[in-house]
Structure 1
Amino acid sequence: MPQLSDTMQEGILVAWLKTPGDEINRGDVVAQVETDKAIMDVEVFREGFLSGPLVAEDSTVAVGQPLAFIVADRDAVVLEGELKEADQAEDATSPSAQEFRHREAKKRPAPKRARPKVVAHDTQRPLPRPDNKPATPYARKLAAELHVNLNNVKGSGPGGAVVALDVKRAQPLVRPTEISPATPPHVMPEIQVAGRGREMTAMERAVSHTMTASLTMPTFRVTVTAQYSKLKAAAKARGVSFTVALAKACALVMKLHPTMNWAYQPVDRLVERDQVDIGMAVTTEGGGLVVPVLRHCESRTLEELDETWRDLVNRARKRRLAPEEYANPTFMISNMGMFGVTHFDAIPIPGTAAVMAVASPNRAGVPLTITADHRVVNGVEVAQYLADLKNFVESPESWLGGVGDAIPEGNWDYDVIVIGAGPGGEEAARELASQRVKVALVNDAPLPGGECLWRGCIPSKIWRAAADRIRDRHTDPQLGVLHTTDAAIDWQKLQLARKALLEERGNLAFKTDKQLKIEYLVGQAAFVDDHHLSIRSQAYTEVSTSTIENEVSFGCCVIATGADNVMPPIPGLQEAAEAELVWTSDNIWQLKQTPKKLAILGAGAIGVEMAQIFADLGSEVLLVEMASQLLPAMDNELGMALGQLMAQDSRIELLLETQITKLQQLGAELQVDYKTKNGETNSFVCDSLLVAAGKTPHIDGLALEAVGVRVESGAIVVDDQCRSNVPHIFAIGDTVGGFMLAHTAAMQGRVAAGAITRQELRYDQNKDSAVVFTRPQVAFAGLTKAQASAAGMDVIEVKLPLKHEIKAVINHETEGLIKFVVNRETQRLVGVQMLCHHAESLIGEAVLMVQVQMKISEVAAAIHPHPTQTELFGELARRTMQRLMREKNKPLDAQVS
């Protein structure tokens, strides 16, 4: 008797599918056994002939005890005889008792308890042969490991046989890697009951033990009533079941309330989970309930979930589920609405924080009752979760919809209003306009572009371009180019060039928006209620200024209002700013000349870029950072390496782990007092201080409380489709925290527009990228080693310095390195980091590699042109493959060490 599920201790022999004397081949199914979960096939992985004595059908047999025997010769087969309970426990015999296999079977003791841990990929048995086609043994084994239903796989082997490659192509999105052991039944006081009782079946015992264990949970209940007719109609329009649509709604709202997906773990631990796996009860043929688990509800499309659920339900009714298909739900739904039940409480099981009971609808709607584990969540969290779930159920058009867009029905002034005309807001508006959606773009300036165009990415790169012309002259003599090293900057001409380009780009963007029929509204927006905005603007005359306030209605809204600079509470800062001695990235463009001496607070992207720009333009720069490295939010090694290179510049002084304590005005100059990590104090007298201490979302003044949009840590909380807890309101870019980058905001703008117009787009920060325009540049795509490890991946990091790369040697640009982060198990690329010249061009190829998560062998096989720095990718891939091969060939003890 094999252990066919993680909690199985014994099984009932339901039926023999082979008889004594039948020839047995490896992988043949010989019997069916009822476990505590389902009826499952028993496969044999030896060759020979089935021999008696056999366990009788309907017998209960402990795991590890014999069911029958396999003999090597047909002549040794025993055609009759029955294994009794005593035979199993003590004296398992047969006419060929001296045969080795029989002796080994007799020695196996019955286990006294379930195994503490079952790792799926180590203990999976091959799946049975599919019903309608052959399959190779390895394909069936692989299908078990990857949880692939072979009946749904098209075979490419001889005669249509399913081979391993077919299974790999068909593997589902989720692969549970661990099946947690069942919680042992807690000892509870029991009172004897009169009458003659029968033995429980294996499944009845399992339910009894689980429910008894559930009594140890300190639970409470919260109920709301929701109108469900729109959700039912929208699900029908999408061609999916109401059950799946409700599960999807629960998972999406769980992204806003992640604690609902957690679990208590003895003793005094919490399991925090992002993946939402929802268990929902199904009635089996002949009675009883099975709870299949619909996995990855938070990220898979409705159509994918519906297809998977139909397959699970069909097999669950016949009790043909594999253990991993009903193990470890993170949330559960119990629906008894079809039975006319007006209200009921469901019981959460160990390993979940909550279960939701769905009763029959009444005039007020359908009652939704959550029973929750108070060790994991509190009443407020559950109440907020149900309030948001009610919104999702009653307004499905904003996330599920029927045919057409997710814009709620109504006589709106605009289908969608986008607040903010930066890269994110403008991209969202243009995407929506291209889908013939009536869009208004509200902006606090006459022209679009936002911080990136007017105060960030673009103007800083104009200054950087001028600084590069000067910096690049330093290596001219090494290539025989003489008399070019005395370059100087004309600040006024540089500023005129900057202003001209910005005006040109701003007007071009405005013209493009108008051509797309985007209505442009200038003013400050604030929410009045769920579907109305107040827009305040200024009207100017020769003698006065007045405020005009208009109210407009909308179906959906996208918030893209950007971020503000953080101004730390330093004594003297406010007064120095009023005297135009302190600047930020918002106003430094107003400098009338390059400062002779410049202090910079903060060594993030803005701080290090500006430090090098002004040093190249001739300024003496002091760069102060509280952290222990430059670029604290990026890869540690690259930040440290950049710091070492910048420290070699005689015009830049770096002070790490240092705080500015006070500012004092000295006429037209500013004294910056600071304290180092060792407690030493000193001062630096300069012309100006640039504060680059970070950004915070600009959402004050929007009156988000009027619509109930959730804000945490100063940022709007959204899901991976940029949807807030209010289903028809979206937020993108800097307003949601995370990477405050122009291209990130633009992508999120496309995602939000896609969610509104029924496109399955999602933002994945793990595949985002960035470039810091220092010299050499710092860039990344995907995850660092530390981030990948924190996400639970087993990764390898391989790096390659540039000092011997021929193109870098020719250009005298040999500083830096490139790193790959590769998933050891899949050998796919999950991250690329680089510190090198021309990283802004090289990172493009890395972005594509990470986006599709190329296998390292595919990168190695790509043919890169010579001599170019792109050859580094191929070389690094080949080194990574060699490293993985060496690890594979190491002895086990060497790998452990």
Structure 2
Amino acid sequence: MKEIVCKLLVIGAGPGGYVCAIRAGQLGLDTVIVEADRPGGTCLNVGCIPSKALIHAAEEFGATKQMMTGKNAMGIRVEATTIDLARTIAWKDGIVGRLNGGVSALLQKARVKIVHGRASFRDGKTVEVETEVGLQVIRAETVVIATGSEPVELAALPFGGRVISSTVALSLTDLPKKLVVVGGGYIGLELGTAFAKLGSEVTVVEAMQQVLPQYDGDLVRPVQRRLGELGVRVLTGAKAKALSDSGDALAVETADGQQQQLAFDRLLVTVGRRPRTTGSGIEDLDLDRTGPYLRVDDRCRTSMRGIYAIGDVTGEPMLAHRAMAQGEMVAEIVAGKKRAWDKRAIPAICFTDPEIITAGLSPDEARAQGYAIRVGQFPFSANGRAMTMLSEEGFVRVVARADTNLVLGMQAVGVGVSELSADFALALEMGARLEDLAGTIHAHPTRSEAVQEAALKALGHALHI
């Protein structure tokens, strides 16, 4: 097969990789992208998009079941409800397929050459790809590593059979009667909550003293209350030990040292993700690392000239939108533009019930960095739109410097608050002060009014509480 020579080679067509390739193509760079699976990476195929589809289906089904009880405050009642999970999964797969096609079309529009297969480095400028029609060699002036991440497997609980990863959980066509989730982070709670709404009996096992340990307690408490309402059993400070001999129960050591056996139909392990850096020759390159991740500078350059790395392979936060921003920046750098990574905040969302958003510094993080701060918090129980949607749980919080009122961070927990994330990121990126947020007219009645009210509270003159 004829050797391909190009200006830019992108390895991996996930959110970071395909955005990098599209932008490079737009800038006139001769670009090749290599992908072993479908375009879109983990996020589109087995992560962000399919999980949100399942979460939405579960929310709709859960709301319908609530109407059957006759306790619905709006007076709506239904007689019966069932779910065809196989049809739900087919609907989810249809969405993924449409987006796969969209990514491929955008790459083609940008005149990016797509090579399907698994890439392996020969050296820092050359890769070989095992394609369906044979070995393809590609030489490039510049290479971008965007190979993403994969679920962490526990030695005592290897994937297979009834022990599943999030990838398998998103493709189940039969609802497990009993689901045990090992790992109470955002992936475990998002999926655990969805399956609980669909009708599974769910138990969450978390080694730390709090589920969602990366968030502060004020944000997590509404989620914990909702888990209780849904009948989800949560064991914190608990350690998953081993499977039973029959393979249908998990031995757990609880916080008080007691031993328990948790029976399950499926055991979902969600204890984190690791960078995908093995099996592609990356391990043989002389690339500096920070722990398991590839080390990069503020332009996403690795320690080898002409090799960049973006996305999950470079470490936390493992977020698709971070990877996209890095990919766009790298394409522009390769095209000769002056760019550097200087982000004040990258919003992170946990799609639990209720949802959590964080951007910038929490109150504790700001104090730890030596700031004297003002904190304004506005509850959704005082928000008209939240009342009309029967979803008054949660709040919006603003953290600002006490001396200048510069906004350092914003957080929220509540139904649908993920749509406020752009407000949070924009305020932080533009260096907003409390007065800017308080002086911006927010439409009524919307949840976004809580942002303005939180700023007013921090300034000492809240209007509606």
Mark yes or no: TM-score above 0.5: yes
The residue that corresponds to 1:595 in the other structure is 176
Confirm whether residue 759 of structure 1 aligns to residue 353 of structure 2.
no
**AA of the residue aligned to 1:625:** E
The residue that corresponds to 2:141 in the other structure is 555
Q: Is the 8 A contact 2:55 2:194 kept in 1?
A: yes
The residue that corresponds to 1:564 in the other structure is 150
Alpha-carbon deviations, 1:788-810, whole Å to 9, x = none?
33444333333222222222122
Q: In structure 2, the residue corresponding to 1:815 is in which secondary structure?
A: coil
Q: CA deviation at 1:685?
A: 0.8
Q: Is the 8 A contact 2:15 2:321 kept in 1?
A: yes
Q: CA deviation at 1:480?
A: 3.8
- Give, in whole Å, the separation in 1 of the partners of 2:36 and 2:6: 19
Q: Is the 8 A contact 2:207 2:236 kept in 1?
A: yes
- Correspondence list, 1:235-634, <5 A: 413-445=5-37, 447-473=38-64, 474=66, 477-484=71-78, 486-539=80-133, 548-570=134-156, 573-574=157-158, 577-578=159-160, 580-634=161-215
- Give, in whole Å, the separation in 2 of the partners of 1:771 and 1:509: 23
The residue that corresponds to 2:396 in the other structure is 818
- Correspondence list, 1:124-143, <5 A: none
**AA of the residue aligned to 2:242:** K
Which of 201, 211, 230 is the aligned partner of 1:649?
230
- Correspondence list, 1:788-799, <5 A: 788-799=366-377
Q: Is the 8 A contact 1:630 1:642 kept in 2?
A: no
Distance 1:450 1:553, change over 3 A: same
The residue that corresponds to 2:254 in the other structure is 676
Distance 1:472 1:850, change over 3 A: farther
**AA of the residue aligned to 2:144:** V
- Give, in whole Å, the separation in 1 of the partners of 2:357 and 2:293: 25
Q: In structure 1, the residue corresponding to 2:13 is in which secondary structure?
A: coil
The residue that corresponds to 2:241 in the other structure is 661
Q: Is the 8 A contact 1:797 1:821 kept in 2?
A: yes
Distance 1:424 1:497, change over 3 A: same
Q: CA deviation at 1:723?
A: 1.1
- Give, in whole Å, the separation in 2 of the partners of 1:751 and 1:631: 31
The residue that corresponds to 1:713 in the other structure is 291
**AA of the residue aligned to 2:90:** L
Alpha-carbon deviations, 1:547-583, whole Å to 9, x = none?
x33322111111110101111222xx23xx43x2011
- Give, in whole Å, the separation in 1 of the partners of 2:309 and 2:369: 25
Alpha-carbon deviations, 1:577-608, whole Å to 9, x = none?
43x20110222233230111100011111101
- Give, in whole Å, the separation in 2 of the partners of 1:880 and 1:499: 45
- How many equivalent pairs are there? 457
Q: In structure 2, the residue corresponding to 1:767 is in which secondary structure?
A: coil
**AA of the residue aligned to 1:455:** V
- Give, in whole Å, the separation in 1 of the partners of 2:416 and 2:110: 35
- Give, in whole Å, the separation in 2 of the partners of 1:789 and 1:438: 48
**AA of the residue aligned to 2:75:** V
Q: Is the 8 A contact 1:417 1:441 kept in 2?
A: yes
Q: CA deviation at 1:750?
A: 1.1
Q: Is the 8 A contact 2:251 2:262 kept in 1?
A: yes
Could you tell me which runs of 5 or more consecutive residues in structure 1 were left unpaired when the two chains were aligned: 1-410, 540-547, 885-897
- Give, in whole Å, the separation in 1 of the partners of 2:17 and 2:372: 38
- Give, in whole Å, the separation in 2 of the partners of 1:857 and 1:628: 38
Q: CA deviation at 1:871?
A: 1.2
Q: Which has the higher contact order (CA 8 A, sep 6+)?
A: 2
**AA of the residue aligned to 1:879:** K
**AA of the residue aligned to 1:556:** T
The residue that corresponds to 2:406 in the other structure is 828
Q: Is the 8 A contact 2:36 2:117 kept in 1?
A: yes
Q: CA deviation at 1:485?
A: 6.7
Q: Is the 8 A contact 1:530 1:706 kept in 2?
A: no
The residue that corresponds to 1:685 in the other structure is 263
- Give, in whole Å, the separation in 2 of the partners of 1:498 and 1:470: 15
**AA of the residue aligned to 2:152:** V
Q: CA deviation at 1:706?
A: 4.5
- Give, in whole Å, the separation in 2 of the partners of 1:456 and 1:607: 12
- Correspondence list, 1:858-873, <5 A: 858-873=436-451
- Give, in whole Å, the separation in 2 of the partners of 1:772 and 1:484: 31
**Taking structure 2 as the reference length, what is the TM-score of the superposition?**
0.93
Which of 792, 797, 802 is the aligned partner of 2:380?
802
The residue that corresponds to 1:312 in the other structure is none
Percent of pairs with identical residues = 27
Q: CA deviation at 1:766?
A: 4.2
- Give, in whole Å, the separation in 1 of the partners of 2:390 and 2:127: 57
Q: In structure 2, the residue corresponding to 1:684 is in which secondary structure?
A: strand
**AA of the residue aligned to 2:271:** A
Alpha-carbon deviations, 1:276-318, whole Å to 9, x = none?
xxxxxxxxxxxxxxxxxxxxxxxxxxxxxxxxxxxxxxxxxxx
- Give, in whole Å, the separation in 1 of the partners of 2:315 and 2:326: 12
- Give, in whole Å, the separation in 2 of the partners of 1:702 and 1:412: 18
Distance 1:615 1:765, change over 3 A: farther
- Give, in whole Å, the separation in 2 of the partners of 1:794 and 1:756: 41
| Structural RMSD (CA) | 2.1
- If you compute each CA radius of gyration, which structure gives the higher value, 1 or 2? 1
Distance 1:768 1:814, change over 3 A: same
Could you tell me which runs of 5 or more consecutive residues in structure 2 were left unpaired when the two chains were aligned: none
Q: Is the 8 A contact 1:635 1:833 kept in 2?
A: no
Distance 1:869 1:705, change over 3 A: closer
**AA of the residue aligned to 1:417:** L
Q: In structure 2, the residue corresponding to 1:586 is in which secondary structure?
A: helix
